[in-house]
């Protein structure tokens, strides 16, 4: 898949390890020496040393976020935000060691093909895995506090496995291979859905439970006719609709005579059509 423009999604919070202080001394000492100054290593300390030393993916994650071995052992369980940008991280499974994680961003790591490790991150609120190698949406059932997800520019073919995400408000799946609108019935808080540059050929069903949806972008899909858009009539809160977008392209239906007039008549509450 060719690299594409991915706008910055609104409200997505990107914090990097604000809870971790810079290390003052060298890591080349024993676990006993690295323990709290007035105490010997606790069992949890020893265990975390073992995790770090046995897991190169965890070490890579810590290094990328300015977190030393000593800091991981002492304060890793307080980290709330991680970011991995541009590389070949073999696996994201090591995020499981950050149980208080709230924000996770992984961008341009084509080796990340599976969502993993998040079963131990129940406080996660925003997830960005962009321009990676994902083929499925999976392993998110424990992340019931998620409000923002951006999995754009991957190889995902289906919206699935998000039924537990009842707090989800923003879902971006641009530049994937999604053919059918499905899997959204439990996402009753969803307000923004971006599916630009996919393989959708109809929007006649799939929105029945999403009464709060305000903003939809389905530019650059395979929507050919007015009939294929009938499902939009079921969205009373819809205010912004993009079937054509300067960053992604348009749909065949955009070339029909009176296309904009038709939509404005069918969707009288609409305020913005095609980013205008």
- Whole-angstrom distance, CA of residue 274 vs CA of residue 135: 29
Confidence of residue 44 (pLDDT cuts 50, 70, 90): confident
- Helix H segments across 168-272? 259-266
pLDDT at 63: 98
Q: Which residue has the tokens 């998040």?
A: 118
Q: Do residues 147 and 126 lie in contact, with contact meaning Cβ atoms separated by under 8 Å?
A: yes
Q: Where are the domains of the chain?
A: 79-273
Q: Write down the CATH number for the domain with range 79-273.
A: 3.80.10.10
Indicate the angle between helix axes 43-54 and 56-64, nearest 10 degrees. 100
Compute φ and ψ for 36, nearest 5 degrees. -50, 140
Query: Model confidence over 143-182: pLDDT tens digits?
Result: 999 999 999 999 999 999 999 999 999 999 999 999 999 9
Query: Model confidence over 72-120: pLDDT tens digits?
Result: 999 999 999 999 999 999 999 999 999 999 999 999 999 999 999 999 9
Direct distance between the N- and C-terminal alpha carbons of the chain, in angstroms, rounded to an integer: 29
Query: Model confidence over 9-41: pLDDT tens digits?
Result: 655 444 444 444 444 444 444 444 444 444 455
Distance of CA 170 to the CA centre of its chain: 9
Q: Which two tokens stand for residue 96?
A: 């499981």
* Reported pTM: 0.87
CA dist list (Å): 200 to 141, 159, 166, 174, 189: 26, 12, 24, 11, 23
Confidence of residue 229 (pLDDT cuts 50, 70, 90): very high
Total number of residues shown for the chain: 276
- List all residues 6 or more positions away from 39 whose beta carbon is below 8 Å from its beta carbon: none
């Amino acid at each position: 898949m060719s690299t594409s423009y991915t706008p910055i999604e609104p409200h997505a919070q990107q914090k990097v390890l604000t809870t971790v202080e810079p290390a003052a001394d060298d890591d080349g000492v024993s676990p006993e020496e690295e323990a709290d100054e007035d105490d010997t290593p606790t069992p949890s300390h020893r265990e975390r040393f073992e995790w770090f030393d046995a897991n190169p993916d965890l070490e890579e994650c810590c290094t990328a976020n300015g977190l030393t071995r000593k800091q991981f052992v002492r304060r890793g369980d307080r980290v709330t935000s991680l970011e991995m940008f541009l590389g070949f991280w073999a696996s994201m499974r090591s995020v499981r060691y950050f149980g208080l994680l709230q924000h996770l961003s992984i961008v341009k790591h084509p080796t990340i093909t599976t969502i993993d490790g998040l079963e131990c991150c129940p406080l996660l609120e925003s997830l960005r895995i962009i321009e990676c190698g994902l083929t499925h949406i999976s392993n998110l059932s424990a992340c019931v506090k998620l409000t923002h997800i951006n999995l754009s520019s991957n190889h995902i073919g289906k919206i699935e496995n998000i039924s537990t995400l009842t707090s989800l408000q923003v879902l971006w799946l641009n530049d994937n291979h999604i053919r059918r609108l499905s899997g959204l019935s439990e996402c009753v808080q969803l307000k923004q859905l971006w599916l630009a540059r996919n393989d959708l050929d109809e929007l006649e069903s799939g929105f029945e439970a999403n009464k709060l949806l305000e903003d939809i972008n389905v530019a650059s899909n395979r929507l050919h006719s007015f009939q294929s858009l009938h499902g939009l009539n079921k969205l009373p809160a819809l205010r912004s609709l993009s079937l054509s977008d300067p960053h992604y392209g348009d749909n065949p239906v955009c070339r029909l005579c009176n296309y904009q007039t038709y939509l404005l008549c069918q969707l009288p509450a609409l305020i913005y059509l095609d980013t205008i």
